[in-house]
Amino acid sequence: MPTLPRILLVDDEERFRTNLQKMLAAQGFEVTAVDSGERALEEMARQLYDVVLLDMRMPAMSGLEALAAMKKSHPDAEVIMLTGHASVDTAREIIRLGIEAFRRRDPQKVNIPDHQSVALAGFSTEAIVGALSKVDKEDPLKPLIDNIVAGNISGVCLFAGCNNVRITQDENYLVMAKELARENVLLLATGCGAGAFARHGLLTSEATNQYAGDGLKAVFTAVGQAAGLNAPLPLVLHMGSCVDNARAVQLAVAVANRLGVDVDKLPVVASAPEATTEKAVSIGTYAVAAGLPTHLGVIPPVLGSPLVAQVLTQDIKNLFGGYFIVEPDPVTASQKLLGAIRERRAGLGL
Ligand code: SF4
């Protein structure tokens, strides 16, 4: 499992320091607590911390002085200031220190590749149905359903979500897309994850030829030819931003209605392999509530509430049929999603 952030807590008030340390440790964080800015700087020289919680008012070195020193020695340090005496001037000073530290960041660590990729993007629900209607004008969903039933398309996976600095950028997306496509899973993508596929050439017909299983390749080639592409559809169909996931669910609902079942019976899954923001938690919960087994490559920031954690990881399946799969390893995650797809196919007698 991914490790939680290592925290350095800096506060001169012993009772507050001890209580906060206990509360954070109870949530699984590794916390080192010190009582002064000087001790904090010594600690930071000794080992790396993901986050520093820094009290503003301390007797010797103030929080602002400590922040200035930290930003000088560790420009990338994430520091959260704690104070019961906030003022606009102090906030301005903190922002100024952050901007100065940004300028001091090591440019060697910034990698903007000189590389261009081709991407065939922007498949709305209507565009996908439109392409399918070139195969069957009267009943556009029929080719999709027939190929799911025949097993040429084993299932559907919607990739959504962000990049996360804790994971080598794009890696989980790429590994999982190739693993699933090889098993004839039709891939949809929204949000920054779709950007990952665009950067690495997976929104192309060439990627379909290179990575799709035989069944998926045959279907995408037939639909691409019928739609006038003279090539297969791209390996991953980009459906918009991360708030456009309703488009994929709309398609799933249309298929479910045709089959006469609920969405939570379909071989449709979702994945946010590099999720990072709070918005991603709500989007993931939406996918689960829609009935989809939903993979997360990182632990979402929900552990602060035992009730929320329990509902999201245990109770939710009984409520909606969908559930979360938290798995950091992309190959294992692909296997788990394929397992969920096979289970649902078996449930439909396929
Ligand atoms: S929540 Fe933000 S970072 Fe994540 S996919 Fe959406 S836009 Fe990108």
Q: Distance (Å, rounded) from C-alpha 123 to C-alpha 188?
A: 9
Contact residues of ligand 1, CB 6 A cut-off: 161-162, 191-192, 242, 277, 279-280
Cα–Cα dist 177/179, whole Å:
6
User: Which of 158, 159, 162 to probe ligand 1 with, by most ligand atoms within 8 A of CB?
Assistant: 162
Angle at 335 between CA 332 and CA 347, to 5 degrees: 145
Q: Which of 190, 192, 197 to mutate to test the pocket of ligand 1 (most atoms within 8 A of CB)?
A: 192
- Stated pTM of the model: 0.73
CA 262 / ligand 1 centre spacing (Å): 28
Residue 302 burial (CB count, 10 A): 19
User: Which pLDDT belongs to residue 3?
Assistant: 59
Segment (H or E) for 94? helix 88-103
Residue nearest atom 3 in ligand 1 by C-alpha distance: 162
Q: Angle at the Cα of 102 (from 100 to 106), degrees rounded to 5?
A: 120
Least Cα distance to 348 among 177, 164, 145 occurs for 145
Q: Which atom of ligand 1 is nearest to the CA of 243?
A: 6
Helices assigned H by DSSP within 231-321: 245-259, 278-289, 306-310, 316-320
Tokens representing 60 are: 């010797």
HSE-CB at 154 with a 13 A cutoff on CA atoms is: 21
- Looking at residue 180, its pLDDT comes to 98
Q: Using CA atoms, how far apart are residues 89 and 129, in angstroms rounded to an integer?
A: 56
What does the radius of gyration of the chain's CA atoms come to, in whole angstroms?
24
CA of 30 from ligand 1 middle (Å) equals 27
Take residue 261 and report the two structure tokens written for it.
């079942």
DSSP 124-188: -HHHHHHHHHTT-SS-THHHHHHHHHHTSS-EEEEE-----TTS-TTHHHHHHHHHHHHTTEEEE
Q: Residues 122, 218: contact at Cβ < 8 Å?
A: no
| Ligand 1: nearest atom to the Cα of 191 | 5
Q: Report which ligand 1 atom has the smallest distance to the Cα of 272.
A: 5
Tens digits of pLDDT across the chain (350 residues): 445 778 999 999 999 999 999 999 888 888 999 999 999 999 998 888 989 999 988 988 999 899 989 988 888 788 999 987 778 888 888 888 888 888 877 777 777 778 888 999 999 899 898 889 988 999 999 999 999 999 999 999 999 989 987 788 999 999 999 999 999 999 999 999 999 999 999 999 999 999 999 999 999 999 999 989 899 999 999 999 988 999 999 999 999 998 899 999 999 999 999 988 778 888 899 999 999 999 999 887 777 788 888 888 789 999 999 999 999 999 999 999 999 999 999 999 99
User: Of 60, 54, 42, 43, whose CA–CA distance to 90 is shortest?
Assistant: 54
